[in-house]
Amino acid sequence: MSHEPTMKLVTNLDRAAIEAKLREVGGDAAAAGLTELAKMFIGIEGMPKAQIEQRVNNAMKWLADKPQHMKMSALLDLVGMNLKNLK
């Protein structure tokens, strides 16, 4: 039985919440020494939707073969499900 925490599935995040999740990913990446990943989320506040989508997609690809960073991948998946809410 896995002891991984369960993440609540939320699909109604607004821009502020999405940006907060991405700052969290950036902070986690910086703390883990993943500078390249952390840089993807610098200056995202107010960024156009298309640019945020591109950065999220790039980060998800970057993390695809790094299962040790599952928390960041899960946060990015959550953000990905909410990108439709960006205005």
Distance in angstroms (rounded) separating the CA atoms of residues 41 and 27: 9
pLDDT in tens, 29-85: 999 999 999 999 999 999 999 999 999 999 999 999 999 999 999 999 999 999 999
Q: Where are the domains of the chain?
A: 15-85
Q: Quick one: the chain helix, strand, coil %, rounded to 5?
A: 65, 0, 35
Beta strands in 1-87 (DSSP E): none
Instruction: Give kind and range of the element (H or E) at residue 72.
Output: helix 70-82
The model's pTM is 0.87
Give 23-42 pLDDT, tens digit per residue. Answer: 999 999 999 999 999 999 99
- Looking at residue 64, its amino acid is A
